[in-house]
Amino acid sequence: MLSPITKSRLRRFRSIKRAWWSLWILAIAYALSIFAEQICNDHPLVMGYEGHVYFPSVHFYPSTDFGGKYGTEADYLALRTDPEFKAHGGWMLLPPIPHSPLHSYLDLSGNPPQPPSWQHWLGTDGAARDILARLIYGFRICMTFALALAAASTVLGILIGGIQGYFAGWIDLTAQRLIEIWSALPFLYVVILIGSIYGQTFGVLLLILVIFEWIALSYYMRGEFYKLREQQYVLAARALGASHTRILFLQMLPNAMTPVITLLPFMVVAGISSLTALDFLGFGLQPPTPSWGEMLQEGLQNLQAPWVSASAIGALFVTLMLATFVGEGVREAFDPKSHQRLQ
């Protein structure tokens, strides 16, 4: 059951149309990007051959299944125009955007990058890969990375900041000195060092950013728990013999969630920006992974083809703008002064 104050905050957030619709746009776009293989792929969604039905977008089929000689995956691009394939009753139902983010379309006329056309709506990059396909897959990677980073950082920030504020004393003092030392480490050097040892993979980059991103939230949670530790209901719970875990997570945490909720959208913004910046500098995900930062680097190397960088800049700008609108709306809705004005 939601408290009257929480219901009032939700109504306030819904009344901020810019934030409300921004949240819906981001949520729908991310939900669609999860099914990117069914929306944007050079593999058919469904195809038929000699009376059999196949689903190449979700299953591997060797070339021998369609009259080929080898056990490697079938070349569906070649099958599209293969007369022998059609002579055996072959047909295909292609995705709305029939291009892969990793395939280089070297058969196009001219040298890459090619300008936008009816075949490639946003053109191709320096490796003749479809830009729209890379934008869609890059959006999924950015959002997944940012959401995972925000979730993991939130858990750490709540746990460490809450313990500091609840126990105070020497525990808080020791933890605070360690946090100050840790936050002084040069982030980029840590990325370079760990990436060179363990590789620049999605999991490694996420781990590196998580161990730095939680620090800011822990300061807010430390202050909230400091404020709540002397409240009457906390003192009563201690007197009744409630465990520290119960008091921390069942009594105090629900009343200390305002900083978490208001900072969460901005943590997502920071995650997208950090991954894009690392990819642009060459310390992020390794090519040929679809990445907005790598696309920005491609645009820098191909200044004669402005559509390459313009596409990535436009997608990044819109995404960050929508996420910022959501963050501003949440912050305004959860502002205690706004609640008092509504009363």
pLDDT tens series, the chain, 343 aa? 667 877 888 899 999 999 999 999 999 999 999 999 999 999 999 999 998 999 998 899 999 999 888 889 999 999 998 899 999 899 999 999 999 999 999 888 888 999 999 999 999 999 999 999 999 999 999 999 999 999 999 999 999 999 999 998 899 999 999 999 998 888 888 888 898 888 889 999 999 999 999 999 999 999 999 999 888 888 898 888 888 889 988 889 888 888 899 899 999 999 999 999 999 998 999 888 999 999 999 999 999 999 999 999 999 999 999 999 999 999 998 876 655 554 4
11-19, Cβ contacts within 8 angstroms, sequence gap of 24 or more:
12/332, 12/333, 12/338, 12/339, 12/342, 13/329, 13/330, 13/333, 16/329, 16/332, 16/333, 18/325, 18/329, 19/325, 19/326, 19/328, 19/329, 19/330, 19/332, 19/333
Query: Using CA atoms, how far apart are residues 39 and 29, in angstroms rounded to an integer?
Result: 12
Where b means 16+ CB within 10 Å and e means fewer, 6-27 reads eebbeebbeebeebbebbeebe
The pLDDT of residue 338 is 56
Tokens for 283? 């310390």
The pLDDT of residue 4 is 80
Quick check: helix, strand or coil at residue 38?
helix
The pLDDT of residue 342 is 47
The pLDDT of residue 8 is 86
Tally helices (H) and strands (E) across the chain.
Answer: 15, 3
Which DSSP letter does residue 11 get? H
The pLDDT of residue 322 is 96
Which DSSP letter does residue 93 get? E
Which DSSP letter does residue 100 get? -
CA dihedral sign, ordered 159, 160, 161, 163: positive
146 CB-near residues (< 8 Å, 6+ apart): 267, 268, 269, 270, 271, 272, 275
Query: Using CA atoms, how far apart are residues 19 and 66, in angstroms rounded to an integer?
Result: 50
In this structure, the number of other CB atoms found within 10 A of the CB of residue 283 comes to: 17
Query: Using CA atoms, how far apart are residues 34 and 38, in angstroms rounded to an integer?
Result: 9
Burial of 238 (0-12, 13-18, 19+ CB in 10 A): middle
- The structural domains of the chain, ordered by start, are 4-35+133-342 (1.10.3720.10), 42-94 (no CATH)
- Residue 235 is which amino acid? L
Quick check: helix, strand or coil at residue 54?
strand
- Which residues is 40 bridged to in the sheet? 97
